Structure 1
Amino acid sequence: MLDATDAALVRELQHDGRVSYQRLSELLGISREAARARVQRLLQRGEVRIVGIVPPAAAGITAVAHVSMDVAGPSGPVAALAARRRAASFVSCTAGAQSVLAELRVPDDAALEREFTALRAVPGVRGLEVFRCAELVRDAYSPEVAGGRPGPPPELDAADRRLIGLLQLDGRASFAVLAEAIGLSQPATRARVLRLLDGGAVHVTGLVESRALGVREAAGVGLGVRGPVRSVADAAAALPGVNYVATGYGRFDVVCGLDAPDRSALLAGLEAVRGLPGVARSESWVHLEIVKESYTYDLPIR
């Protein structure tokens, strides 16, 4: 569990993963050396990872779906095989109607159908239930939702794509390291990085290990809605503990993700979502084990 200073440090890193140690010192009222030492300790312990998050559009991602898998036998081997799919950004073993949940992010509907076919062929999978995302309303890490600038991302050349690839691995890599990796001068590299950040092509943030924040429980809930779907989605996104909201079609009208410090708080969060005006039905599941959670894309180099 983070102390108050580390928690404040993490909030600043989530807002701007490349914030300077000097700026952290000024914001937190500690020395520059103390700020540096605390950040390094968080990174070494694995409690925080500083990475570049790319908007799906910049990576050519236009199709997103949640797939619930009906499994005969143990769920672990099925989840492990699903996690090996490059299209899978999130995979978990769940307690609920289905045993395994996966989120798929792919370029188009044809690629999505290929992923469905591959998952149906996994040994132990008896069938799939699909929620096709239409709009992402809230996502803790998406630059399109969490602080990204409006409008399409800037056009990317080969050097830009290499830079983004490096930032996805290490969001705090120095301009000197980045410049050497792509073969440009430090001033030219700095200008490119700032253009990519300002244009919303990449958002550098701190991904925090849930238990470091006191999060012990995580769940999802799918909603069937009466009337306008977006109003229910917006209301859900404003609730405490809700970290993900998407509208769509298929199995549900809205899917939400929640986290909480304990089981009673999780139940309170689920009840708040279920009680929203316009919710006609709900189905929830608890994430027993998150097998994969990845926000890294392979950017095609034109």
Structure 2
Amino acid sequence: MKLDAFDAALVRELQQDGRVSYQRLAESLGVSREAARARVHRLLESGTVRVVGIVRPWVVGIGAVAHVSLDVEGPGRPAAEVAAARPASSFVSCTAGARAVVAELRVADEAALEREFAVLRSAPGVRGIEVFRCTRLVRDAYSPATDPAAAPEAAADVPAAPAAPAAPAVERPPAVDEVDRTLLGLLQADGRASFAALAERVGLSQPATRARVLRLLQSGAVHVTGLVDSRAVGVREAVGVGLTVRGGATAAAAAAARLPGINYVAAGYGRFDVVCGVDATDRPALLATLDSLRASAGVVRLESWYHLEIVKESYTYDLPV
């Protein structure tokens, strides 16, 4: 389904706040409440947009994130399937590049990362793995750009919505009890679930449920956003990029994040100093973005990989519903 100008405006509002009211949408876009409601329902029912709660990794104990490139002898798909079967993997892609498969892992700590590496090394045809360890997320296509807990995290380098506003800074993450975890699980499944429906599921009054949901949103524990089918916004090219830089990686990552076409940027160490995600409507636009990255101050080497098949893409966690 191709988005028209009105759809695109609705999508931008939903990306900023997936729980925005129909009345507010109507006022913002200058239409009736019924028209706004009908168009949002059409987008949701067609699958063009999904409104979901993106739960922050620190809420579920994620403290280590790594981007792993698999050097494979023979077909890459069997190794990709092994990676995709791991609960720790949030993104797996078969690529046209120096390495046949790339994956992102999200786990609790370094020991858990090493266990995942061992599994990937034993996957069919894998001759070895190369690791980029994310230490700072500069731009995330799905979640708020600042983690209240300052925990390292990342998102897959695939086309998606523009980065959302940063979450409010707090000294430490708020306590999350079992009722909160259930609410988070429900929001993962349906970010626009009504307070009445949520209250019925968790056994609290509607005002108490509303207060809890607002606290989770304001603390940054969850960000409710609209995820858009990339084809609906004209994205045809999806590429991952690794940069080697001279000097500080953070400055180079910040510069990359300001370029058009960049949907994800992380700084870290290992195989690369910076990893980026690029999306584009066509080859000339893709080339322009890659050339801009090559010309960025401090960049001494660029390596790219084309996503031929995304085998897994999931940013939900095992939470009660």
- In 1, Cα distance between equivalents of 2:252 and 2:169: 23
Runs of 4+ displaced beyond 3 Å: none
| CA displacement 1:63-82 (0-9 Å, x = unmatched) | 00000111222222322221
1:57: Cα distance to partner? 1.5
Hey, what's the Cα distance between the residues in 1 that align with 2:178 and 2:138?
31
Correspondence 1:34-45 to 2 at 5 A? 34-45=35-46
Shift, 1:299, TM fit? 4.9
Q: 2:97 and 2:90 mapped to 1: Cα distance? A: 20
State the match for 2:198 in structure 1: 178
Any idea what SS the aligned residue of 2:119 has?
helix
Matches within 5 A, 1:214-225: 214-225=234-245
Which secondary structure state, in structure 2, belongs to the residue aligned with residue 256 of structure 1? strand
Instruction: Provide TM-score, normalisation by structure 2.
Output: 0.91
Question: In the alignment, which residue of structure 1 is the partner of 2:8?
Answer: 7
**Counterpart in the other structure of 2:262:** 242
Distance 1:45 1:71 in 2: 38
Residue of structure 2 in register with 1:298 after alignment: 318
1:54 and 1:143 in contact (8 A); partners too? no
Amino acid at match of 1:114: R
The answer to whether the 8 Å contact 2:138/2:145 transfers is no
Secondary structure of the residue aligned to 1:227 is coil
What is the CA-CA distance between 1:119 and the residue it aligns to? Answer: 1.1
1:31 partner letter: S
Number of residues of Structure 1 aligned to a counterpart in Structure 2: 300
Identity of aligned residues (%): 72
Tell me whether 78-87 or 63-72 shows the greater mean CA deviation: 78-87
Amino acid at match of 2:246: R
1:271 to 291, 294, 297: 291
The answer (yes or no) to whether the contact 1:245–1:257 under 8 Å persists in 2 is yes
1:29 positional shift = 1.2
Q: 2:175 & 2:272 partners in 1: Cα distance?
A: 35
- In structure 2, the residue corresponding to 1:122 is in which secondary structure? coil
| Structure 1 segment 67-216 matched on structure 2, within 5 A | 67-145=68-146, 146-147=164-165, 148-151=167-170, 152-216=172-236
Contact 1:241 1:269 in 2 (8 A): yes
Once residues 105 and 294 of structure 2 are traced to their aligned partners in structure 1, the CA distance between those partners, rounded to angstroms, is: 25
Instruction: State the distance in 2 between where 1:76 and 1:179 align.
Output: 43
Q: How far did 1:124 drift?
A: 2.0
The answer as to 2:228 corresponding to 1:227 is no
Cα deviations across residues 133-155 of structure 1 (Å, max 9, x unaligned)? 11111101122443211123321
SS, match of residue 59 in structure 2: helix
In structure 1, give the amino acid aligned to 2:231: R
Decide whether the 8 Å contact of 1:55 with 1:144 is kept in 2: no
Output the amino acid matched with 2:176. L
In the alignment, what sits opposite 1:31? Answer: 32
Structure 1 gaps of 5+ residues are none
**For residue 143 of structure 1, what is the amino acid of its counterpart?**
P
